[in-house]
Structure 1
Amino acid sequence: MGNFTKWLGAGLGFTLGGPIGALIGYAIGSVIDSGVTEKEYKDEQDTYQKKIKTNSKAKSSTSGDFEISLLVLASVVIKSDGDVDNRELDFVRTHFTDLYGKERANRAFKLFNGVIKKDVSTRQVCMQIREHMSHSSRLQLIHFLFGIAQADEIVQASEEEAIRKIAGYLYINDRDYESIKAMFYNEADAAYKILEIEKEASVDEIKKAYRRMAKKYHPDRLQDIGEEHLKVAKEKFQSIQNAYEKLKEERNF
């Protein structure tokens, strides 16, 4: 384990307390291997408890908070269909490696393997996230969760239901939810859903919707959760641009 809790405490704020903190505490115990002595285990737990006390009054989110929130909510979605699919686990591992590099990703995934063994109170976890994380960051969480669900090539009804429930607890409204969902479904009216407009929208309404959505999903709105998360934010932003270009071609304007 060594520096496990040192890494865990670096850059974390609100997630070291409350229901998420309790889950992480459980996960630390789950990742202890047989080569760790009882004293080393106790030292890790003592270090973790000190970090909880140090960070218990944190009121803003950080890159580390976003990382831990992803881990916890990803475990909810992956378990929702009653089967932990290796393709979904591989997606999480690959995504974390792309975001954080191999060393940090390995530590995060070790923690994830502990979290996924524990039952999660989705409502309580989302309430904690909602209290401290911006609306833009919460939208980004939903986008990531759909990516996980689609990793096995089909979004199961149980997975979609789990993500919708999470979105509700995070105070993501139906229009925002359907917009993000449409980015992962190849439907005829996906471009309209992504831009949050009806098929009957005029050209002026399409242009107005594009400007509004481009502003809402601009990567600059996610500066507080770290540079490492901006790549995925740019992919979401690109979906907005692609939807607009598709409607421009269809409507010839």
Structure 2
Amino acid sequence: MIIYQRSAGPGGPGCGGCLLIIALLLLLVGGAPLLFNVFGFVLLTLVILVLAGLLAFWGFAYYVRRQIRRYEESQTESHNQFVFLLVQILVKIAQLDGTVTRAETAAISDFFRMQLRYGHQQLLWVKQLIKEAMASSLTLDDLLLDFRRRFGYEPRLILLELIYRVLYTNETVSEGELIVLQRIADFLQIHPYDHQSIRARYQNRSWGTATAGESREAAYYQTLGLEPGADFETIKAAYRNLSKQYHPDKVNHLGEEFSRVAEEKMKDINEAYQYLKKLKGQQ
């Protein structure tokens, strides 16, 4: 409902009127010299304030660049390239609908802060990478192709795992986003049962608290990338294969934070294997 409001009554003379009154008073009291002295002082003060602001801005920008440079130099080239491509890919996924909102860029930063435990210095770097990615003309296919050329199979699995983590920080994941995830997995040449193992962890996030034994059992099969009811030899083979792929030593060159991702994945794989092993009556 549009409510009529009375217009405001006449106010004071405003800023321009105030300045005119002050100028007239200065002329009356001290003439033109006093007027020029006062306004000259005011103008000089404004110039100094502007220069001080520019200097502070330059100093802060220099501090940020220096912090970023120090962090980059402390990491391996593989680590820096991995994070660069990860951020670029996440931004390109966000851009698929035609725009990137502040909430989406904040979600990417929050992911690095909360999931990968990045500190202040690291987050400055990530925010700079996001800014560069926003202005980049590279396509998602360009980035995925470059990633596939640079990194082996295990880092590709970690990349897909991290993309799932970011998207599933939202309450819901759209059908379009699921299609993009499948496209990424195919482009990175991820084996279907490896993709199933990753997907299961996020599409069945509530299985850990499930009371139904069948739901829990099905989720453990999915964690190993298997269909429910697989025999023990198949389970053991899947476990051994995933254990090799997600062994932290395979991704040590990517950095400590990504080794932790592999360790967390290994924990899930071990838990699923031990449950199914016991279910099959194996010691």
TM value normalised by structure 1: 0.70
Are 1:220 and 2:269 counterparts? no
Q: Which amino acid aligns with 1:177?
A: H
> Which SS does the other structure have where 1:152 is aligned?
coil
Q: How far apart in 2 are the matches of 1:208 and 1:172?
A: 18
8 A Cα contact 1:137 1:222, kept in partner: yes
Q: Which amino acid aligns with 1:74?
A: L
Is the helix fraction higher in 1 or 2? 2
Are 1:71 and 2:81 counterparts? no
1:203 is displaced (CA, Å) by 2.1
Higher relative contact order (CA 8 A, sep 6+): 1
Choose 182-191 or 147-156, whichever is displaced more: 182-191
Are 1:247 and 2:276 counterparts? yes
Are 1:233 and 2:262 counterparts? yes
1:89 is displaced (CA, Å) by 3.9
The residue number in structure 2 matching 1:150 is 168
1:162 is displaced (CA, Å) by 1.4
Moved over 6 A (4+): none
Give the one of 124, 135, 156 matched to 1:106. Answer: 124
1:87 is displaced (CA, Å) by 6.1
1:117 is displaced (CA, Å) by 5.4
1:174 is displaced (CA, Å) by 2.0
8 A Cα contact 1:77 1:163, kept in partner: no
The residue number in structure 2 matching 1:161 is 179
1:247 is displaced (CA, Å) by 2.3
Question: 1:63 and 1:165, CA in 2 relative to 1: closer, same or farther beyond 3 A?
Answer: same
Give the one of 109, 112, 116 matched to 1:96. Answer: 112
> Which SS does the other structure have where 1:155 is aligned?
coil
Q: How far apart in 2 are the matches of 1:79 and 1:193?
A: 31
Are 1:201 and 2:230 counterparts? yes
Largest Rg, 1 or 2: 2
Give the one of 117, 122, 129 matched to 2:147. Answer: 129
Choose 68-77 or 112-121, whichever is displaced more: 112-121
Question: 1:174 and 1:119, CA in 2 relative to 1: closer, same or farther beyond 3 A?
Answer: farther
Q: How far apart in 2 are the matches of 1:179 and 1:106?
A: 33
8 A Cα contact 2:91 2:105, kept in partner: no
User: Alignment identity in percent?
Assistant: 26
How big is the alpha-carbon RMSD for the aligned residues of Structure 1 and Structure 2?
2.8
